[in-house]
Amino acid sequence: MAPVVIRLDPALTPIEALSRFSGAPHLCLLQSAATEHPLSRYSYLAADPVALVNTNAEQWPSVRAQLRATFAPKADIVPHLPPFQGGWMGWLSYELAPAFDETIAHSRRPFSIPDVGLGLHDWVIAWDHAQGNIWLISSGIDHSGKRDAKRAGVRADAVLQQWQQAPLVRNRAADTGPTNAPIVADFTRAAYETAVQRVIDYVLAGDIFQANLAQRFVVPFPGDPWRLYRELTARTPAPMAAFIQRDAMAIASASPEQFLRLDAASGRVETRPIKGTRPRDSDPQRDALLAEELIASEKDRAENVMIVDLLRNDLSRVCRPGTVRVPTLCALESHPTVHHLVSTIVGELEPGRDALDLLAATFPGGSITGAPKLRAMEIIGELEPVARGVYSGAIGWIGLDSSMELSIAIRTITLTDGFASLHAGGGITALSVPSAEFREALDKADALLASVNA
């Protein structure tokens, strides 16, 4: 059964559409917010899912079975439309990792955030920014993935009514905002630099090649999550931005990093790890010098290459032999607040494998763990005082045909219990300087903290 497909007009932006659907339950926006970035082609908005998954790593086998039950190899995916045409949207927290390797243990959890937060969406509004089109796609699926033409039409009509209504008027007076609210960090500067030195010691002892160390910042936040997301994407437009609101919690993400992209029809897999960062400068000459310094940095290049090797190995576990390759190594990518080094690794999934096999072979992403991955994660667990939650997990979609696109959840703020929580960090190698690593973490956190306090 083909889905109901309606071309929408007027041409609302994703942010404008978000304001019209902000009262809908379990809202999810995946937005290409950096217009010039090569990954910024599609955006997706959905709400009111037909099924919800909110659970922890121990329940992953039943979650996996539930997701697979909705996959249909011959799902009615309409060609020439955006690739996500209904399916699962949401997040996978960093602490989901033990589901894929039982030797990994996490004992500390921040707040009450599920390791898996996914909704099964029977309709989606999809933007193709390259072609300037907006589509409403209503599949008619129920909680088990079964399609029904009548249901598809009814749901499409309800979404159209919401699309055409006036935007929700927000009460600005009620949004007191947390201007100049105190920021609580889990590390002092001295403690963070000591932790960095511990990682360096592990590297020199031969335990690891590198590990990604992060610190958490917590700020009281009585404000409007939607406004925070709008502020965040205005300050740091990102190709894989996301806003998720579910009951009393919300997630605002401005991630520049693609974790996994899978095209189920061709089996093509892509991952684009980021390692290596310098801040931007308002002076063009100083900014160019910072970019040149990053490109020439032995430490940053070595860090990137190590993670490329790790991800090549991860992909090789589920890809056809000989298909994993690196078309781009350590390319400079400039964002509004930072310069990055980005590499691209591609492969072809083995026949009989699906998105969940790919996820099991690669989660969590190597760029936010280290190498070797399992030992690096043990060291992270030893040195970081709190669990990571959504940070450095993944946000994105898994389609009804088993296609998938996920970001690495960096530049991500979690809002719960009246607080905004965010992490920032970087990869530590033998060439790291503790004071410089502390400064890099703050450079990454600055724009997020400014958005919270705007």
> Coil, strand, or helix at residue 263?
strand
Dist. CA 88–CA 398, nearest whole Å: 5
pLDDT digits (tens, 9 = 90+) for 44-101: 999 999 999 999 999 999 999 999 999 997 778 899 999 999 999 999 999 999 999 9
Whether 171 shows a pLDDT value over 70: the answer reads: no
Q: The whole model's pTM is what?
A: 0.94
Structure tokens at 86: 């209904």
Q: Which helix (H) or strand (E) holds 420?
A: strand 419-428
Stretch 211-236: mean pLDDT? 93
Active-site residue, selected from the candidate residues 231, 270, 275, 303 = 275
- CA 443 – CA 454 distance, rounded (Å): 17
SS3 sequence of 163-176: HHCCCCCCCHHHCC
Per CATH, the number for 4-168+183-452 is 3.60.120.10
Question: What is the CB neighbour count within 10 angstroms for residue 198?
Answer: 17
Catalytic residue among 257, 333, 378, 437, which? 257
Report pLDDT for 174. Answer: 46
User: Is residue 176 scored above 80 in pLDDT?
Assistant: no
Q: Which residue has the tokens 């999810």?
A: 28
* Percent of all residues in the chain with a pLDDT value above 70, rounded to a whole number: 95
Average pLDDT of span 346-372: 96
Provide the pLDDT for residue 35: 82
Torsion of CA 341, 344, 345, 351, to 10 degrees: 150
**Mean of all residue pLDDT scores within the chain:** 92
Task: Report the alpha-carbon distance of residue 24 to residue 124 in Å, rounded.
Answer: 13
Ordered by start, the domain boundaries in the chain are: 4-168+183-452
Q: Convert the pLDDT of each residue in 268-314 to its tens digit.
A: 999 999 988 888 888 999 999 999 999 999 888 988 999 999 999 99
CA-to-CA separations, 121 to 156, 254, 408, in angstroms, rounded: 12, 22, 22
Our CA dihedral for 69, 390, 370, 315, rounded to 10 degrees, sits at 20
Is 275 among the residues known to form the active site? yes
Is residue 190 predicted with pLDDT exceeding 50?
yes
432 has pLDDT over 70: yes
Residue 410 predicted with pLDDT over 90: yes
pLDDT given at position 110: 59
242 backbone φψ class: left, alpha, beta (φ>0; ψ -120 to 50): beta
Residue 378 falls in the annotated catalytic set: no
Cα 239–Cα 23–Cα 33 angle in degrees, nearest 5: 10
